[in-house]
Structure 1
Amino acid sequence: MPLSLSPNSLHPSTLAFAQIFSQNSNLTQPWLPHVLLRKRPMPRISCVSTRPKRKPGTKTEDPDVREVVRMLMRSFSDKQPLLKTLNKYVRIVRTEHCFLLFEELGKSDGWLQCLEVFRWMQKQRWYVADNGVYSKLISVMGKKGQTRMAMWLFSEMRNSGCRPDTSVYNALISAHLNSKDKAKALDKALRYFDKMKGMERCQPNIVTYNILLRAFAQSRNVEKVNSLFKDLDESIASADIYTYNGVMDAYGKNGNIREMESVLSRMKSNQCKPDIITFNLLIDSYGKKQQFDKMEQVFKSLVRSKEKPTLPTFNSMIINYGKARLKEKAEDVFKKMIDMKYTPSFITYESLIMMYGFCDSVSKAREVFDRLADSGKELKVSTLNAMLDVYCMNGLPVEADKLFVNGNSIGVRPNVSTYKLLYKAYTKANMKELLEKLLKCMDKDGIVPNKRFFLEALGAFFSSAGSPGFQAKLEYKQSFCFQHQITVARGITYLYRECEATCKRLIRTEAKSCRNLLERVATFYSGKFWFLLCSSFFSVLNNVTGDDTRLWPGCLSV
């Protein structure tokens, strides 16, 4: 029975659309003979498949292969290097094992290890150059932001005698779109797209269109999205549910409700029925824009349809009602979920905790947290972080510190996110003692703060004085030096090298703000180190502006 979803009634969720891209790593590519990389004329190579073609919809993953990969992953350690482990099991490891290894290593920061596995593969007698392997590696490098490495693999593939196909170009386009310079990445992706159209074996498929449509929807380029849809209609490929879900999700996350509803109308006109992901993303998108009438209408349509609500459906409604401070409605959603025989997950409880935090009901949030802690189930660090966040957003840093100290007693070990949110809260509240205590705990737990940690944690603290980039870098250098006991001389040199250009620009345009910033930093932190550091930095200011450092008394009086 068709669903009564009108363009004026629907919206997206924060569900990831990994399904759109999962088709990129297709293993049904031709297996090609390996050509040794010598400087000699390249023979013409014909591509012949050495594997039977898969039947659509059937599982090809062998449980024995997965078990071997698990064993290999468990064997990796500092004492047992990756290559040594592979050599130990050289008699049983084959291409299918390495392919799954790429997947597992790609889920972490093991992209360098992926390259080690790849080089090890090339040395084995059974290795045959294959587009599927290169496509997977390019995809992994792209997800880790290693665009240059993805390009190198593409070049390596061609040198090995393989001819690129659609899946390889799809992986390459995705790799570019993961780079930081989105405008340049989109331009590069379009060039690859046009190039694919001119090659018979590389014609764009629906996966190609899905990748590009979602990317341009994320960049709010409505004109290009419409152009790609028109191009898709004229091609041999047909839009599927992943196409529409991906574009609607991107529009919804950006708050482009009208454009999202336009895509929904297109989906209905093409007789493509919504699935649970469609409903969830619509519910979430309307909820984020606080268009609760439409959100509730979508939920009613979902209940009447053949699809069934999932936990993310309820979680999204609870958190979005909470952000609007509609506590009663959020509680009604939770009650309805229980009445429908759903078992709350830890994410549901975290949504409840955050909802009560948004509604200033800290005691209610703590009740949920304590009930979960006393349930005997393993408490997630994300749940602890949610409760700490509630304390911090309600101006209760002391209570947050007490819970943080008791974390070990309830079986939860803090992670980097825990320290970051507490660091930010203590800094905003000017709680110097708690901040110093937190830094000592970080050192004790072996948490090494990186640049991003301080850039994110201190974005708001110095918002009223000077450039955010300069302010964050200054505080980052201070914390880095304080935490890891870098010498004063090295700290000053590093600070000057990193901030010289910003310093010059600030002093010429915002001298007063910069002076206020440094005075605030100096009065917040005391000690000989900061006296020397600020004195040295004022010498830099003097070199730039010609001002006498005696005009900057705030820091020097510490």
Structure 2
Amino acid sequence: MMCAISIPTRSLPPCGLSRTRPLGFLPRRSLAIRAAKSASRNATPVHCPSIPSIVKKLNAGQASVVQVLESQAPLMKSPDWFALLEELGKENKWTLTLEVFRWMQRQKWYKPDDGFYPKLIVIMGKAKQLRMAVWLFTEAKRNGHRPDTSFYNALITAHLHNRDKRGGFQKALQLLETMKQRIRCQPNLVTYNILLRASARACDVALVERFFQEMEAAKIYPDLVSYNGVIGAYGKTGDFVQMEKTLFIMRLQKHIKPDTVTSNTLLDSYGRGREFVKMEQVLKSMTSAKSRHRPDSKTYNILMSGYARAGEVEKMEWSRSRMEAANFKLDFRSYEILVTGYGDVGAFAKMDECFFQMLQAGIQPQKSTLNAMIGAYCKHNAFEEAEELLTDALQWQIRPRTSAYLILLRAYAKVGRSSDMEILLERMRKNGIMPCAAIFLEALESFSLSSGSEEKLTESVVEVLAFDNDDDDDDDDDDGYGVDAFEGYTTSSSDILTFSEHSDG
């Protein structure tokens, strides 16, 4: 019989230590980690590039474009270059955008397939430079790019921003059919989102329904962006029946939850249509305790915009107080809406006060702000104030563009003030600003109607007016109030939104 042998157990060393390793000794990996941490603490911090500051330097013109870009290039990565191009595009600096892109192409780090061409095509389209957008599309193919869905999406967007809306829309539909025939260029969700919004803006309900059917057949499922775009497009055309029907389908049939963009889109649509009861109902649903999409600063700007359009100054001020009570600071758009709202009703004291509050808040007025104020003065025949504002603009670092002078010129023409027209036109000529032929004809027509053709403009005035050199193409439909919310049913929009909150809770 074998007897059990008892083997004494040794106590294990503390975690991380070994009997054969001195207490003060650390493994090589730990030493390496410590050294890396110490080096990172002592290293000079690498600052991320500030895109707005780069744009400011490029616009200032104190250094050449090459100098500015070469100084910033070591700090920038591919997303930063995308952001820079986009920021320049937002400022409608399409020539500068193209110059930056050409510089990028000459760099060793530039990769042709990084998606810069589609981005540039969109920027050119939004700047109304359709020929340039098409030329870039062709150039990309010449340089060996194989256009894919993103290229065609960009080209469709460019055509939809064409001045010829109908022709641009038809070309976009042709491009869609071309995409369907090419394997690499099959339409995707982005394609249909772009076309859905355009179709709704054209009030083509049949085409909207067709696109939804095509998406279902291709197993492309509409998302919140799809429905928000259609809702916003119907709302801007004033088709509230289709807008509310789309909201009903989105929420109660497709079970897609609305968000703050949805609510802001509804607010903007009802405000444009002066459906203030419905607008306030939507706001109430947003501010309810169970709401998951709370109002943001854009919400209150939309409220102010809706009331300002209708001349409801008291409610506009009420919206401002609600915004400030919600701890949102007034931004550039807020002040511009207030300035335009006060100006439209002739409340010049409040308009001027709001303008100086804008300056005190450190917010730089833009040319659109100047145009809104000049337009308000001219609307109420306060021409001396308009002239004074035009003179003082340079004090606030605003260089009046052609449209600012033309607002005043049109106003003078309508009331038959020929001598003031001559003085203003002479001033424009000295400043190197010339109106286009269309403005020439409009001003002459307005002047002849107002004066009964008893007075005649001097030859020098006609010569200046007829000089077609207007580089200030202001083709947008911004009335000073605009706030972009993005971008047969008896159930109201607010009811659907309220239902969504209860059903989600």
Distance 2:388 2:254 in 1: 57
Matched residue, 1:279 = 263
Task: Answer with 162-171 or 128-137: which moved more.
Answer: 128-137
2:278 is aligned with what amino acid? K
1:293 is aligned with what amino acid? V
Distance 1:321 1:202 in 2: 45
Q: Which runs of 5+ in 1 are unaligned?
A: 1-62, 464-474, 476-515, 535-558
Distance 1:84 1:331 in 2: 47
Are 1:316 and 2:302 matched, yes or no? yes
Matched residue, 1:182 = 165
Distance 1:220 1:364 in 2: 39
Distance 1:411 1:80 in 2: 19
Matched residue, 2:118 = 135
1:319 is aligned with what amino acid? S
Distance 2:146 2:283 in 1: 48
Q: 1:362: how far off?
A: 3.8
Distance 2:329 2:440 in 1: 35
Matched residue, 2:413 = 427
Task: Answer with 159-168 or 240-249: which moved more.
Answer: 159-168
Distance 1:124 1:310 in 2: 42
Distance 2:242 2:347 in 1: 36
Matched residue, 2:215 = 232
**Are the structure 2 counterparts of residues 317 and 528 from structure 1 closer, same or farther at C-alpha, using a change threshold of 3 Å?**
closer
Matched residue, 2:336 = 350
Q: 1:279: how far off?
A: 1.4
Q: 1:243: how far off?
A: 1.2
1:143 is aligned with what amino acid? K
Contact 1:321 1:330 in 2 (8 A): yes
Matched residue, 2:279 = 295
**Are the structure 2 counterparts of residues 438 and 460 from structure 1 closer, same or farther at C-alpha, using a change threshold of 3 Å?**
closer
**Are the structure 2 counterparts of residues 460 and 259 from structure 1 closer, same or farther at C-alpha, using a change threshold of 3 Å?**
farther
Contact 1:86 1:93 in 2 (8 A): no
Cα deviation 1:151-208 (Å, max 9, x = unaligned): 3333333344332221111112112222223333222222222232333332211110
Cα deviation 1:397-455 (Å, max 9, x = unaligned): 233334444445667554444323222222223333433343344345x352342xx74
**Are the structure 2 counterparts of residues 113 and 326 from structure 1 closer, same or farther at C-alpha, using a change threshold of 3 Å?**
closer
Distance 1:404 1:90 in 2: 40
Which one has the largest radius of gyration?
Answer: 2
Cα deviation 1:35-64 (Å, max 9, x = unaligned): xxxxxxxxxxxxxxxxxxxxxxxxxxxx86
Matched residue, 2:86 = 103
**Are the structure 2 counterparts of residues 159 and 74 from structure 1 closer, same or farther at C-alpha, using a change threshold of 3 Å?**
same
* Higher RCO (C-alpha 8 Å, min separation 6): 1
Are 1:396 and 2:328 matched, yes or no? no
Are 1:247 and 2:230 matched, yes or no? yes
Cα deviation 1:445-471 (Å, max 9, x = unaligned): x352342xx7469758736xxxxxxxx
Matched residue, 2:196 = 213
1:400 is aligned with what amino acid? A
**Are the structure 2 counterparts of residues 69 and 318 from structure 1 closer, same or farther at C-alpha, using a change threshold of 3 Å?**
closer
**Are the structure 2 counterparts of residues 160 and 323 from structure 1 closer, same or farther at C-alpha, using a change threshold of 3 Å?**
closer
**Are the structure 2 counterparts of residues 227 and 117 from structure 1 closer, same or farther at C-alpha, using a change threshold of 3 Å?**
same
Distance 1:251 1:65 in 2: 41
TM-score scaled by length of structure 1: 0.63
Q: 1:300: how far off?
A: 0.7
**What is the SS of the residue equivalent to 1:462?**
helix
Task: Answer with 330-339 or 92-101: which moved more.
Answer: 92-101
Cα RMSD after superposing both structures = 4.0
Matched residue, 2:30 = none
Q: 1:360: how far off?
A: 4.4
- Residue from 516, 526, 530 that aligns with 2:458: 526
Distance 1:424 1:528 in 2: 18
2:206 is aligned with what amino acid? E
**Are the structure 2 counterparts of residues 344 and 92 from structure 1 closer, same or farther at C-alpha, using a change threshold of 3 Å?**
closer
Q: Which runs of 5+ in 2 are unaligned?
A: 1-45, 467-505
Distance 2:381 2:173 in 1: 48
**What is the SS of the residue equivalent to 2:115?**
helix
Matched residue, 2:240 = 257
Contact 1:353 1:386 in 2 (8 A): yes
- Residue from 140, 143, 150 that aligns with 2:133: 150
**Are the structure 2 counterparts of residues 398 and 278 from structure 1 closer, same or farther at C-alpha, using a change threshold of 3 Å?**
same
Are 1:438 and 2:424 matched, yes or no? yes
Contact 1:388 1:400 in 2 (8 A): yes
How do 1:450-489 residues align onto structure 2 when only pairs under 5 Å count? 450-451=435-436, 455=438, 459=442, 462=445
Matched residue, 1:223 = 206
Distance 1:187 1:361 in 2: 45
Q: 1:120: how far off?
A: 5.4
Are 1:333 and 2:319 matched, yes or no? yes
Distance 2:187 2:235 in 1: 26
Distance 2:185 2:245 in 1: 31
Distance 1:241 1:456 in 2: 43
Q: 1:110: how far off?
A: 5.0
Distance 2:419 2:188 in 1: 59
Contact 1:421 1:457 in 2 (8 A): no
2:287 is aligned with what amino acid? V
Contact 1:286 1:295 in 2 (8 A): yes
Distance 2:216 2:158 in 1: 26
**What is the SS of the residue equivalent to 1:290?**
coil
Cα deviation 1:348-380 (Å, max 9, x = unaligned): 23323333334444444344445555x464551
2:259 is aligned with what amino acid? D
Of all paired residues, the percent bearing the same amino acid is 38
Contact 2:54 2:68 in 1 (8 A): no
2:262 is aligned with what amino acid? T
Distance 1:82 1:383 in 2: 29
**Are the structure 2 counterparts of residues 521 and 272 from structure 1 closer, same or farther at C-alpha, using a change threshold of 3 Å?**
farther
2:133 is aligned with what amino acid? A
Matched residue, 1:547 = none
1:523 is aligned with what amino acid? E
**What is the SS of the residue equivalent to 2:455?**
helix
Task: Answer with 314-323 or 247-256: which moved more.
Answer: 314-323
Matched residue, 1:449 = 434
**What is the SS of the residue equivalent to 2:445?**
coil
Q: 1:265: how far off?
A: 1.5
**What is the SS of the residue equivalent to 2:339?**
helix
Matched residue, 2:484 = none
Contact 2:49 2:75 in 1 (8 A): no
**What is the SS of the residue equivalent to 1:523?**
coil
Distance 1:77 1:357 in 2: 32
Distance 1:133 1:271 in 2: 36
